Amino acid sequence: MRFLEANATVSDLDSFIETVGAVADETGATIQAFDARYVVDRAHLEHAATLADRAIERGNEIARDRAVEFILYASGRRQINRAFEIGVSEGTLPVVILVDGGDESAAESALFDRLDLEPAGTLGEYDESLVREFYDIGDAELAAADGDLSALVRERVSLLTVDR
């Protein structure tokens, strides 16, 4: 599993998604792009990917596509339209792109070649207020967790399997 960190300029979201899909098809990799402002750390996405793969192995997946399953778990949401709120949108934004399986190296090269990406350290550079609002984490809950926002987000990710 690789994580590509970059600042992206997305002028046409459909074209961006189409390019990601083409690279995934060509390389056999599962690729999902996230708005880095919602990704608290590497463990957040690794945990989501692990749970998504477990659901797929058990035949309990929500989506038909592995990349969509990744974003559902990462967001802690069953509704695809809500899950995609933490995905890439049009404009210039920090991104983390998860690449798993297939030829990960070729996928990484192709994504940087074909998309308007500028390498940057974006993993863990989240927006605390956006994360807390999206995952509905209040002051009392954060205080009870000794300020460990990452643990609370991973809990939300885990709870998706319970809410089935």
CA 125 to chain centre: 14
Kindly report, residue by residue over 109-118, the tens digit of the pLDDT. 999 999 999 9
Kindly report, residue by residue over 140-151, the tens digit of the pLDDT. 988 898 878 999
* Least confident piece of the model among 4-13, 70-79, 153-162: 153-162
3-state secondary structure of 128: helix
Residue 89 has pLDDT above 90, yes or no: yes
Q: How far is CA 47 from CA 4, 5, 16, 26, 35, in A?
A: 17, 18, 25, 26, 17
Q: How confident is the model at residue 161 (pLDDT cuts 50, 70, 90)?
A: confident
The CATH number of residue 63's host domain is: 3.30.2380.10
pTM exceeds 0.85 for this model: yes
Mean pLDDT of 80-107: 97
Query: Into how many domains does the chain fold?
Result: 1
| Residue 36 belongs to domain spanning | 2-162
